[in-house]
Amino acid sequence: MAQRFSKGISRRGGQTEPTLPLINIVFLMLIFFLVSAQLARPIDPDLQLAETDHPELTPPPDAVVLDQAGKVTFRGIEQPYEAIFTALQAEAGDTDVTVRILPDRRSDALALTALTAELRGLGASRVSIVTQRGLE
């Protein structure tokens, strides 16, 4: 008993799913993610972030950078703490200002705590330290 199958019909009698539209959607998503990944502002290649095991950390676009020498930069420019806080407060639009710090792993812990205390003293409601993912 030979069964005959016509083109486009599965063995169970229903139509087969077209795969070409699915492949097109997958390629479009791939292109979208490749393009969107290139839009992020690059981090200084000499900066070595501290490591942690927190899996959901992503580097924020506007963070305060503390380098190995203790120099504090914001958006690539060395600025006083007051100017950094004023810029972040203007962007937040209210009194709830969150400051993100990207410290170099070779930076001094005392410089990091002093920077954190200074920003909290200026009125930052939350100070986060951004680190590199430990599970790569």
Residue 14 has pLDDT above 80, yes or no: no
- Give buried/exposed letters for 70-102 (b at 16+ CB in 10 A, else e): eebbbeeeebebeebbeebbeeeeeeebebbbb
pLDDT of residue 135: 29
Mean pLDDT score, 7-36 = 77
Where does the pLDDT of residue 134 fall: very low under 50, low under 70, confident under 90, or very high at 90 and above?
very low
What pLDDT was estimated at residue 28? Answer: 92
Give pTM, 2 decimals: 0.54
Q: In whole angstroms, give the CA distance from residue 90 to residue 96.
A: 11
Averaged pLDDT for residues 76-87: 85
Long-range contacts of 92-96 (CB under 8 A, 24+ apart): 95/123, 95/125, 96/125, 96/126
